[in-house]
Chains A and B, each alone.
Chain A
Amino acid sequence: MHELSLIAGLFEVLEEKAREAGAARVASVTLRVGEMSGAVPELLTSAFEAYKKGTIADRAALKINLVPVRPRCRSCGGSSWREEAGFVCAACGSRDLEVVEGRELLLERLEVEVDDEPRPGRAADRRRRPARDSPRTPRARQRA
């Protein structure tokens, strides 16, 4: 039930990255979620759907890439485990395993939509011109 906190954390990063990329809107969001991260994909999705309203990701789709657990045995260096036996190294039977992958909760990537560079003369372009009373476009000369 802490998925809403995770999604709040996601939006902190998402909004910053979308701004940096000059995004008009976010089309899709991809998360990398470890099977032992403690987060439930279904709950992440419903929290995301609730949270995105009125944000730059208002219409974004959420994709979740699940990452299986990859252990490393501290005794023999093995990297597979026998799930049915609990958390046990498949090679040497040691229980002293470290979780190398499978606990992560990452914003992997964003697909963003960027407005194309406006052609000269269009409204968007005019907004970019210096203000009328700036020294580069003196009023007097424009009138003349």
Chain B
Amino acid sequence: MTTKDVLVLQDLLGSNKKIAAEIRAKLGKKGIFAVNLMSSPGSGKTTLLERLCARLQGRFRVGVIEGDIATERDAERIRSLGVAAWQITTHGACHLEARMVGRVLAGVPADLDFLFIENVGNLVCPASFDLGESERWVLLSSPEGDDKPAKYPEAFLSANSLVLTKADLLPHLPFDPDRARREALSINPRLRVFVTSALTGQGLDELEAHLISSRDSLRSARA
């Protein structure tokens, strides 16, 4: 019996990254702008998507992939708006992986403008898994507290945009949006910050304009 030392140096997330790169290339070629939405459960991902879909629908083709541990409820909420939705039920897994998105993608029409991927509600694990998205959003709702960026740095470090939600509740809460913004920017100074309320519509014009201009630049990069 001989013992041998084998130097490997390979990424444990290597196969996820490879599939994510394939998805990114495929979506880029079709000109589909994809957003991966991450946040704790109950921070308002599905409600924000309902509002954004209602605004974009008619002018753009929109699709939504819903990731949940159980049930088709979120996909049904989106479908009731007349928007195409695909549910991924993870049966216990706390995050989406590129492989799961890849399987659904086969049935997604090629002429979409926007594809939203709502990750499983969890502010930790989804941050480690690239899904091949064009952009990553982290949502933070005012009832969760403005200390979350410092406590969950990974999610804020890996995101491109921070969407503060439920801003209509700010008068009733000790949540300081400036502190949340400052803490998030100290972890990731490149974050774009949007302050929104799905109830009053605050900040949704900015978010919509950002989506449309990002999709345009994706398409002009392709041309």
Point out residues on A near B: beta carbons under 8 Å. 1-2, 5-7, 9-10, 12-13, 17-18, 21, 23-24, 27, 31-32, 36-39, 86-88, 95-96, 99, 104-116
Contact = CB atoms under 8 A, between A and B. Distances in A.
A114 B13 contact: no
Contacts of A37: 128
B79 to A, nearest CB: 29
B125 A2 contact: yes
Given A36-B154, A107-B8, A114-B2, A1 B16 contact: no
A95 B186 contact: yes
Contact of B12 (A21, A107, A116): A107
Interface in B106-156: 124-125, 127-129, 150, 153-154
Nearest to A74: B189
26 contacts: A1-B94, A1-B125, A2-B128, A5-B93, A5-B95, A7-B12, A9-B13, A9-B16, A13-B8, A17-B6, A17-B10, A21-B4, A24-B1, A38-B125, A38-B127, A38-B128, A99-B157, A105-B13, A106-B11, A107-B8, A110-B5, A111-B6, A112-B4, A112-B6, A113-B1, A113-B3
Contacts of A114: 1-4
Nearest 5 pairs of A and B residues by beta carbon: A2-B125, A86-B186, A9-B12, A105-B12, A110-B6
A24 B3 CA distance: 10
Interface of B: 1-16, 93-95, 97, 124-125, 127-129, 150, 153-154, 157, 183, 185-187, 189-190
Q: Is the interface of A mostly helix, strand, loop or mixed?
A: mixed
Contacts of A87: 153, 186-187
A21 B13 CA distance: 22
Given A106-B11, A107-B10, 6 more contacts: A1-B124, A6-B128, A38-B154, A106-B9, A107-B8, A108-B9
Given A13-B14, A38-B128, A39-B128, A108 B189 contact: no
Contacts of A32: 9
A113 B2 contact: yes
A112 B3 contact: yes
B187 A109 contact: no
Contacts of A111: 3-6
A44 B186 CA distance: 29
B8 A2 contact: no
A27 B3 CA distance: 8
B190 to A, nearest CB: 8
B129 A2 contact: yes
Nearest to B183: A86
Contacts of A86: 150, 183, 186-187
